[in-house]
Amino acid sequence: MPDHMPQDAGENSLWATTSIANPVNEQLREAMQSDVLVIGGGYTGLSCALHLAEKGTSVVLLEAKSIGFGGSGRNAGLVNAGVWQNPDHVCAQLGEEAGQRFNMALRDSPALVAELVERYHMDCDLQPSGTVNIAHSAGGMRHLENRCRQLQELGSAVELIDGETSRALSASPYYRHGGILDPQAATINPLSYARALAKAAQGLGARLYQESGVESLTRKNDRWLATTAHGSVSAEQVVVATNAYADRHSHQVRASTVPVFIFHCATGPLADDIATSIIPGREGLWDTQLLLTSSRVDKDGRLVMSSAGQLRGFQRAIRENWMTRTRDRLYPQTRGVNWAFSWSGQIGVTSHKILRVQLLAPGVFAPAGYNGRGIGPGSVIGKHLAETIVSGNRDDFPFPIEARYREKWRGIRAGYYSYGTLALQFLQRP
């Protein structure tokens, strides 16, 4: 079977071009049995399959497209801890005790990614240089001061940096107010990481199939039966790890998040003198602007930048032009450089900006709503789901397990995000 690259028509993904080979090349074409069925070949599903296989549990993973096709192969590659919202917000939403367990479980998520990369010798360009949540204004810095205090109270090894340090780290005249440095965070080739997880899981006996979308999931003789176009899997328990790329056959998961798009632009390898003059320590940056912008330089000296929106039809030119103007303001030395790559991906957003783990039916778990923070948290949740499934003890699972949930007005809100960001990008000038 050909290795389908995870990009949409008209898009040119840096990760699809530079990633390691996809180790999964088979469709499901038989009737199988396993202890656990995992649906979805992104970080959560792959981590869950890997950790189940580590424990000797029989596991089959089915991916409708190709490994990493969804958000796992379409993000900026910043390996950050926790969620977007401050720890106090999590506790306010979940309650103090549940919120603390949630926050602590995700506090060190980059460490799990680094440990898996080392243990399984993953070729995924992990750069443990840290990340910086960088202020674009004095008001943005006040927000970060409060966030840093909350993270430090959790025991996170973050530190507040001043304007001079933020200018030195970013090498940008624009970032002069300060920020939060997380020295334990990292950057990565996100698609390579997904594929490396798949390879490690296969090496432990997990059976992985792509181009094998689930067409039905029914209860039969105290087991779950999933059917695909050419085969079936019978399993005792199921993890539906489709997140924002849930299709009509997993409509309950699709309804639990609002679809929001993020787009990315990357240059080709820059001249050495230019590449070394941008983020010289190779941290990953994301700022506090309303139209959040992230920046990083990969191992080959390419500048990769990201913001909100989808590259489709007439939107492409507006968003790419805005990104060029933003890049030239942040890093004037790149003026005149063309973008060599541009692509977009979908994330699942929740009203309270906190991920959810639903129990769709007895034995059917469905984590979703990573709100753009999937690499570390997805790896962690996959690991904890595997432990919970094997032990049968949900008391130690550090994330609240909810009944079915549905986001209200999701279509209208998705349109608001899409066209609202497009209007700002069209109107905003240097």
Q: How far apart are CA 77 and CA 325, in angstroms?
A: 22
* Average pLDDT score over residue span 309-325: 95
Average of per-residue pLDDT across 326-355: 96
- Distances in Å between the Cα of 257 and the Cα atoms of 318, 369, 370, 392 are 26, 6, 9, 27
Residue type at position 128: P
pLDDT digits (tens, 9 = 90+) for 196-224: 999 999 999 999 999 999 999 999 889 99
What pLDDT does residue 7 have? 53
Which residues fall within 8 angstroms of residue 395, CB to CB, at 6 or more apart?
none
What pLDDT is stored for residue 248 in this prediction? 75
Specify the residue for token string 């530190």. 159
Residue 2 clears pLDDT 70, i.e. is over it:
no
List all residues 6 or more positions away from 183 whose beta carbon is below 8 Å from its beta carbon: 130, 157, 158, 159
Model confidence at 1, in pLDDT bands (50, 70, 90)?
very low
Res. 242 pLDDT band, cuts 50 70 90: very high
CA atoms of 187 and 21, how far apart (whole Å): 20
Average pLDDT over residues 378-396: 96
Q: What angle do CA 107, 364, 82 make, to 5 degrees?
A: 10
Distance CA 380, CA 382 (A): 5
Q: Given a cut of 70, is residue 251 above it in pLDDT?
A: yes
Residue 104 scores a pLDDT above 90:
yes
Residues contacting residue 387 through CB under 8 Å, at least 6 positions apart: 51, 55, 396, 397
Query: What's the pLDDT at 272?
Result: 97
Mean pLDDT of 379-393: 97
pLDDT, residue 354, reads 93
Residue ranges and CATH numbers for the domains of the chain are 14-18+33-413+418-424 (3.50.50.60)
Q: pLDDT tens digits, residue range 268-308?
A: 999 999 999 999 999 999 999 999 999 999 999 999 999 99
Alpha-carbon distance 78 to 366, whole Å? 24
Overall average pLDDT of the 401-418 stretch: 91
Question: Is the model's pLDDT at 96 over the cut of 50?
Answer: yes
Going by pLDDT thresholds of 50, 70 and 90, the confidence category of residue 406 is: confident
Taking residues 44-54, report their average pLDDT: 98
What mean pLDDT do residues 240-250 have?
A: 88
CB contact set of 54 (below 8 Å; sequence gap of 6+)? 204, 386
Mean local confidence (pLDDT), 106-129 = 98
Distance CA 349, CA 93 (A): 15
Q: What is the pLDDT of residues 131-176, one digit of tens each?
A: 999 999 999 999 999 999 999 999 999 999 999 999 999 999 999 9
The per-residue pLDDT of the chain, averaged, comes to 95
